[in-house]
Amino acid sequence: MTYRVTLIPGDGTGPEVVSATRLVLEATGVSFDWDIQEAGVDVMDRYGTPLPDSVLDSIRTNKVALKGPITTPIGHGFRSVNVAIRKALDLYANVRPARAMQGIAGSFEDVDLVMVRENTEGLYAGIEHDVIPNVAAESIRIITRAASERVVRFAFDYARAQKRRLVTAVHKANILKATDGLFLKVAREIAEEYPDIEFNDRIVDNMCMKLVQRPREYDVLVAPNLYGDIVSDLCSGLVGGLGVAPGANIGNDMAVFEPVHGSAPKYAGQNKVNPIATILSGALMLRHLGETSAAKQVETAVATVVADGRSVTYDLKPTRDDPTAVGTREMAEAIVSAMG
């Protein structure tokens, strides 16, 4: 069987980490027919948009995509292509596992967290405007029962399928009584449908402190969009940083796999950044395709290379300027060698 998969290299360091991931995925023996689609700042001039329709059409047809990060201008310019893809395809659950690996200095041992982030509304609805230019601006935060129900249900179904014990809803319902109040109310209702899974909730600021102090007490977290985005970066930091954090955007019949990190443009073209966030996103894709043993093969090889500590990128060395750090490509090649 050959899987036709939309492949979006992205921009900045995206093409480098995606190419490294292709190398590893193809080494599993699983057969891919890559439908390569360009998006991001580099295609603006050619197509007049950073997200040509052909990209969305390709994902709609193939149902599965592997995506590199894409730059979003800060404070001006086009809206995020990443957010636009998630919204256009209704990829409502953003799943971001953060699992400790042996050999990463400064990371917490035994941490095994999964953030399930609502991916289609909240502050990312992008409904904002100047009230008085340069004086006041307004952003509208949308929380609906329907979107909250499906993402919380996804978190519980995920917990059950992965044999996890606890789902924690993350919110700020003490202050945002209408919006987060609704999210929390819905989460409590859905929790009653899953008596086999424990449930609790935490206010987002307190959640951040607790994750830093006692991350092992938590398991699956579910949160509205913005908190999910921020807290998942915090979780990545507990286990080694953005270079190791994979992600998946899941809808009812489509899925797009991408690292948590962005395009890290300052390192673009330098063969420097860590490819394993994208490689592990590729392993999540293999699981999604039902290729469980290939997924395990990739995850085990990544863990072996990280634990060994020699063929790793700068971010996994004891100091950032360690001269023994290898490049993106070389780390991917070491992972392929470890696959035996």
Contacting residues toward ligand NAD, per CB under 6 A:
17, 69-72, 82, 242-243, 258, 261-266, 273-274, 277, 315
The CA–CA distances, whole Å, from 221 to 162, 184, 234, 260, 278 equal: 14, 13, 12, 16, 22
- Residue closer to ligand NAD (CB basis): 219 or 233: 233
Q: Is 205 known to be catalytic?
A: yes
Beta-bridge partners for 138: 129
**Spatial separation of the C-alpha atoms in residues 179 and 245, rounded to whole Å:** 29
Q: What is the dihedral of CA 12, 14, 20, 24, to 10 degrees?
A: 170
Smallest distance, ligand NAD to C-beta of residue 134, A: 23
CB of 274 to ligand NAD, least distance (A): 3
Give whichever of 14 and 224 is closer to ligand NAD, judged by the CB atom: 14
User: Which residue's CB is nearer to ligand NAD, number 38 or number 180?
Assistant: 38
Cβ burial, residue 29 (10 Å; 0-12/13-18/19+): exposed
Q: What is the DSSP string of 51-82?
A: S-HHHHHHHHHHSEEEE------SSSSSPPHH
Answer whether 66's CB lies under 8 Å from 30's CB. no
Question: From start to end of 61-197, where are the E strands?
Answer: 64-67, 93-99, 112-118, 122-132, 136-142, 166-171
What is the residue whose two structure tokens read 């090889």? 301
Q: Among residues 180, 229, 272, 315, which one is catalytic?
A: 229
Least distance from C-beta 102 to ligand NAD, angstroms?
19
Helices vs. strands in the chain: H and E counts, helices first:
11, 12
DSSP codes joined into one string, 256-271: EE--SS---GGGTTSS
Closest listed residue to residue 187, CA positions, set 232, 233, 152, 227: 152
Nearer to ligand NAD by C-beta: 62 or 263?
263
124 as an active site residue: the answer is yes
C-beta closer to ligand NAD: residue 187 or 244: 244
Q: Which is nearer to ligand NAD, 123 or 169 (CB)?
A: 123
Shortest spacing between CB 133 and ligand NAD, in angstroms: 23
Cβ neighbours around 326 below 10 Å, total: 20
Give me the residue whose beta carbon is nearest to ligand NAD.
262
Catalytic residue among 33, 53, 130, 205: 205
Residue 10 beta carbon to ligand NAD: minimum distance, rounded to whole angstroms: 6
At closest approach, how far in Å is the CB of 338 from ligand NAD? 19
Contact 318, 296 (CB under 8 A): no
The pair of structure tokens assigned to 254 is 């489509």
Query: Given 63, 67, 87, 124, which residue is catalytic?
Result: 124
Q: Which residues are catalytic?
A: 124, 172, 205, 229
